[in-house]
Amino acid sequence: MKKRVIAVIAAVSVSTSAAAAAAFGIQQTIDVTGGISVFMDGNEIEMTDVNGDSVDAFLYNGTTYLPARAISEANGNTVAWDGETGRVDITSNGTVGENPNAARLIDQEDRYFIFDLSENVTRTEVTYTNRYGIELAADLYTSTELDETQQYPAIVIGPPYGGVKEQGPGVYANELAQRGFVVLAFDPSYNGESGGEPRHLSSPEIFSEDFSAGVDFLGSLDYVDREKIAALGICGSGGFAISAAAMDTRIKAVVTSAMYDISAMGNSLEGEDREEWIDGFSQQRWADFENGTPAYTRTYPEDAPLEDLPDDLTGTNIEWWTFYGLERGWHPNSGGSFTNTSMLPFSNYSLLDHIDEISPCPIMFITGDIAHSRSMSEEFYEMAAEPKELVIVPGAMHIDLYDRVDLIPFDEIETFLNEAFN
């Protein structure tokens, strides 16, 4: 069939020269093949122009031409045309083709923190990418008196296992920034506001890498001294921080607070117990594959904290719920759990195998005298080589070292890091 068409087709987000733009007004008659229907996800696209008039797709000289506006808008994007420059701009609205590794940032006014920011501290939301291409969301804390022409020591802080940056990491960062440190509190990959699919995944290697990615970012700031960057891990992140330091010599000091070695949960099992444990996760993989998504069950309430603890709690669950389930430490992004198969790689990955090889990088272990995790800090303190330090806080439970600024030994942390850096 014969159809009168514009001979020049505009490219997406490409501006033409004046001469080329003028060509848009040149028309000629060409032979094309019409009657082409276009389907997206099984549904036919109604192709119309900005005025609502029908626009045909057609085949010409071996190439199929589709109307940019109709196809783009069907993908949920916005199309703009500039007739003077001959430019088509297509703006993605993130509804189709969204990068699964991109950070999922929340509007600033909707963000929730379990503590009040000091008037002497500036908090800035930042993003950066780890070596797996996952965009991490973090908060950068600096003193309001920071002089960007000078260089300062820096700390990258990871949250408890299942926690987020607005909880314990922010509490520590808020205090340490007042003491002259540049502090980065981050959400681990696949969790909080950080990117990565599937959501709520846990990985010993990637969670360790997230500390090194924080070092990457801090070292890119002109006002950070690259030779004075430390890693601080709370609870489960203590193990990840040590693991990172064993692989990354740029980390010049490590502080763990209420440390947990998550990999010990799988590696401590033997014989039939280990086989049964691994087989359970292995069978779950069948279900995850068939369902197309990994199973995940959130532990703590998502919409709001509870006013009182559930009646059926026993053992350490009482302590966990006291922090994560009540107003004290509750956060909508902190479900306290991971996909059901997340523990499987920990059975084959020991985070602290090389703890005695980190020296001369010093390690500080902080624990409470009534913390249920105290024995773990003491055990790994004995395994670590010098220089090392063990601080036992009187009257402190495990969760007290998440947020109790009256108990967390910030003076000792400051002294330890300054000595490590000098």
* Domain identity same for 76 and 141: no
Share of the chain above pLDDT 70, in %: 90
Q: Are 232 and 255 in contact (CB under 8 A)?
A: yes
Residue 303 lies in a domain: no
Mark whether 216 and 149 lie in a shared domain: yes
Is the pLDDT assigned to residue 236 strictly greater than 90?
yes
Do 82 and 113 belong to one domain?
A: no
Q: What percent of the chain has pLDDT over 90?
A: 73
Backbone angles phi, psi at 24, to 5 degrees: -65, -20
Q: Is residue 285 part of a domain?
A: no
**How far is residue 11 from each of residues 81, 86, 108, 125, 272, measured CA to CA in Å?**
11, 9, 36, 35, 63
Domain that holds residue 45: 2-91
- The predicted model gives 395-405 an average pLDDT of 98
Domain identity same for 32 and 150:
no
Residue 97 lies in a domain: no
Flag whether pLDDT at 10 surpasses 50: no
Do 37 and 155 share a domain, yes or no?
no
State how many domains the chain has. 2
Query: Identity (one letter) of the amino acid at 246?
Result: A
The confidence score (pLDDT) of residue 41 equals 66
126 and 85 share one domain: no
Alpha carbon distance 206, 259 (integer Å): 18
Please give the pLDDT value at position 21. 41
Exposed, middle or buried: residue 365 (CB in 10 Å: 0-12, 13-18, 19+)?
A: buried
The reported pLDDT for the residue numbered 78 is 79
The answer to whether residue 343 sits within a structural domain is no
Residue located via tokens 């009256």 = 406
pLDDT attached to residue 22: 43
When pLDDT is cut at 50, 70 and 90, the band that residue 33 belongs to is low
> Same structural domain for residues 143 and 14?
no
Amino acid residing at 150? Q
- Residue-level pLDDT at 177: 98
pLDDT in tens, 60-83: 777 787 887 787 777 767 788 777
The Cα 152–Cα 213 span in angstroms is 19
Mean pLDDT for the chain? 89
Average pLDDT rounded to a whole number, residues 236-246: 98
- DSSP single-letter state for residue 239: H
Altogether, the residues listed in the chain come to a count of 422
Residue range 319-350, pLDDT digits in tens: 999 999 999 999 999 999 999 999 999 988 99
User: Looking at residue 243, which CATH number applies to its domain?
Assistant: 3.40.50.1820
34 and 61 belong to one structural domain: yes
The answer on pLDDT for 308 being more than 50 is yes
Residue 389: phi, psi to the nearest 5? -150, 140
**CB burial of residue 160 (10 Å; 0-12, 13-18, 19+):** buried
**100 located within any domain:** no
